[in-house]
Amino acid sequence: MRLSVAFIYMCALFRNRYVIGTKRYQGYDYSLSGKYFVTICTKNKIPYFGNIEDGKLKLSDIGIIARNLWIEISDHFQNIELDEFIIMPDHIHGIISIKTNSDGIIVETRHVANVETRHVANVETRHVANVETRHASFLQPGNEKTRISPKPGSLGAIVGSYKSAVSKIVHRFDPGFKWQSRYYDHIIRSNSELSRIRKYIRENPGKWENNNS
């Protein structure tokens, strides 16, 4: 099976410990309908999210928060659907589908300032079982005075909101937690490529020990 140059580059990039050096495609509208493969890393590749034991992922408390809030992304952004994803010790891989209507207009997003993160409140772990999450919202990137807000409903808005939500909860018991400022994205252009990336995500835990030995 022939692999695309972009996919080969993506795998090589990740084998080199997920150094995110790519930039968004200049001039590309990341609010357009399509499937996007994203990788979001912790700063300095610190394994906040857990560890891999015998090829199986064991999430930390922070990893559980990251997983639950990822699942909730589609509750807050009406224009997206989630596909395959995995929480790894120091990064997240996921496929996000963005939808527009027949006129190419972004479907209205539900971006509420004080949405309860219902699943996190039910996490039965030592550190987070009693974390109050009523105000742990998906924050609109750009609310900070020093940031330029990405286009509503775009990939940048979705990723930025997710990162802000995770940080807001985690900082209540680990103020040192930080994300890498940038993230990697890849526009998925065919069903065969989608299948390969889904397989890559599913098999990531099994490859972790070899890549980190």
CATH number at residue 195: 3.30.70.1290
Into how many domains does the chain fold?
1
pLDDT at 198 (0 to 100): 96
Domain boundaries, position 175: 5-211
Structure-block tokens of residue 133: 């999450």
Tens digit of each residue's pLDDT, the chain (213 residues): 444 444 444 555 455 444 444 445 566 788 889 999 999 999 999 999 999 988 888 999 999 999 999 999 988 888 899 999 999 999 999 999 998 754 444 444 443 333 333 334 344 334 444 443 333 445 444 433 334 567 888 899 999 999 999 999 999 999 999 999 899 999 999 999 999 999 999 999 888 866 664
Phi, psi of 106 (to 5 degrees): -60, 135
How far apart, in whole angstroms, are the C-alpha atoms of residue 110 and residue 207? Answer: 37
Structure-block tokens of residue 99: 């939808």
Using the CB atoms, write b or e for 102-116: b if 16+ within 10 Å: eeeebeebebeeebe
pTM of the model: 0.72
3-state secondary structure of 197: helix
How far apart, in whole angstroms, are the C-alpha atoms of residue 6 and residue 15? Answer: 14
What is the CA 64 to chain-centroid distance, rounded? 13
Structure-block tokens of residue 114: 């004080």
3-state secondary structure of 171: coil
How far apart, in whole angstroms, are the C-alpha atoms of residue 13 and residue 9? Answer: 6
Question: Which residue's structure tokens are 């997920």?
Answer: 18
